[in-house]
Amino acid sequence: MWLTLHTHRADGSRRAVQIDERAPLGRGGEGLVYPLRHDPHYVVKMFARPDAVREAKIRAMIAAPPAVNRDGHLHLAWPEAIVTDTNGRFLGYMMPRIDMRRSVPLDWYLLPAQRKAERLRGDSETDLGFRLTIARNIAAILVAIHAAGHALVDLKPPNILVDREHGTVVIVDCDGSRIFEPGRIHPALVATEEYLAPEFHGRVKQADARQDRFALAVIVFRLLNDGLYPTNGTPLDPAAPASHIGRIKAGLFTVNPAAAMKPHPGSIQSFLADETIDLFRRGLSAAGLLRPAPYHWQCHLEQLLKRVRPCRAGRHAMLPKGCPWCGEIPMAPRPARSVVSPPVVKTVRATPPSPANAIGAAWVRLNKATKAGAATIAKTAVIAAAALAMAASEPGGPLAGKLSENAATTDDSCRRASLHTGNQQQATCPPIVPSPAAKEKANA
């Protein structure tokens, strides 16, 4: 039986669609998901108990979607249109349809036996990089969600689907998230205790982006440790809680030295880089916004991907501190040989001054400082001044001691030549070097 519905987008556009009430695609706690007739790209979620509170939240989600799903790939099953019956009564929402032929739940990547049974990439220890890629993509989606002011809160592996070929991620069941709109907060109503931060147990409605930071740290830890939780270990205190939830509430995590927890024998955390362990420690044990943000995880995982390489046996992935499976320890890099090069000294040959050099240099400087068609008197004054300087510099020469008398005349000739050519810059006269006789006369 085909049921006719109407979709309403944020831009005001409206269209009629049809679903088959007898053939839902999936069933959840809050409603059913149906495919659209004649449109394979979208599905409709029909709430079991539609009300004004849910309608207001869905409308806020449609008005402020995160900046994902804009690269031609689906990363977030976010509502795109309100769905009503023919009378305008709210029933649910329309969202993009996920290609389930290519996607599998994240749970399948957590356990080695499941990965092997499903023939998934990341099955062997050699393909640890594929699981790092999945973790990096989850963090990238959270970056966009938090940038829009929202928080998933109920972030858990069953709500994360992974493309089995490329490791791209789609997060589903988003209508239970904490949604922000100006002047109003739509709180999350449910969360999974296994991924719930200690401060939000019993206070789910207060959960926000701080909760996502905690859940992300747990998920990344499990991806790297074959499904082990960061609470899986042996506490040194015999009175410590035995259950996973109890240890979360008590803050007992194997990456936290203060918790006095011996890691599980199957954990690879001792082979991880110190900065990775520090992110886990702060993400699980720190309070609130002191936990690393998804952006920090995204950047760190990208760097970690560049450092993962096969060990010598070629069967495993080599981590920064060695191979967890065959025990190979990375070789320390050889210290670079210090090579000290002798200083390079440039030898500059001194050129003795000559009348030709002095006159030529003065001629070039004056030609650059004056305009075309400079007066002949300016050039004549320069030549005369240069010749006078060279003659006066000769000890015992006929002009020795006459320098001080001619200096004022030469300077005045240069000043008049500059004014005559119309050049507003001060003319450059050849350097005047006092002779020894002139120095003795000046001192006397």
Count of CA atoms in the C-beta half-sphere (13 A) of 157: 20
Residues present in the chain in total: 444
State pTM to two decimals. Answer: 0.72
What pLDDT does 88 receive? 93
What pLDDT does 361 receive? 54
Sequence-distant (≥ 6) Cβ neighbours of residue 178 within 8 angstroms: 150, 151, 152, 153, 185, 186, 187, 188, 207, 208
What pLDDT does 321 receive? 77
Count of CB atoms situated within 10 Å of the CB of 158: 12
What does the domain layout of the chain look like in residue ranges? Answer: 1-97, 102-327, 356-443
Residues in the chain predicted with pLDDT less than 70, given as ranges, are: 29, 71, 122-126, 313-315, 318, 327-444
388-408 residue pLDDT tens: 555 444 444 544 444 444 444
What pLDDT does 68 receive? 86
What pLDDT does 429 receive? 37
Q: Alpha-carbon dihedral of residues 178, 181, 184, 185, nearest 10 degrees?
A: 10
- CATH number for 1-97 (one of 3.40.50.150, 3.40.50.300, 3.30.200.20, 3.20.20.70): it is 3.30.200.20
Sign (positive/negative) of CA torsion 270, 319, 123, 137?
positive
Per CATH, the number for 102-327 is 1.10.510.10
What pLDDT does 432 receive? 36
Count of CB atoms situated within 10 Å of the CB of 417: 23
What pLDDT does 114 receive? 85
The values of phi and psi at residue 189, to 5°, are -110, -20
Contact 21, 34 (CB under 8 A): yes
Alpha-carbon distances of 142 from 98, 124, 160, 247, 406, rounded to whole Å: 19, 28, 12, 26, 85
Q: Which residue from 110, 1, 93, 4 is spatially nearest to 50, judged by alpha carbons? A: 93
Angle at CA of residue 369, ends 366 and 371, nearest 5°: 100
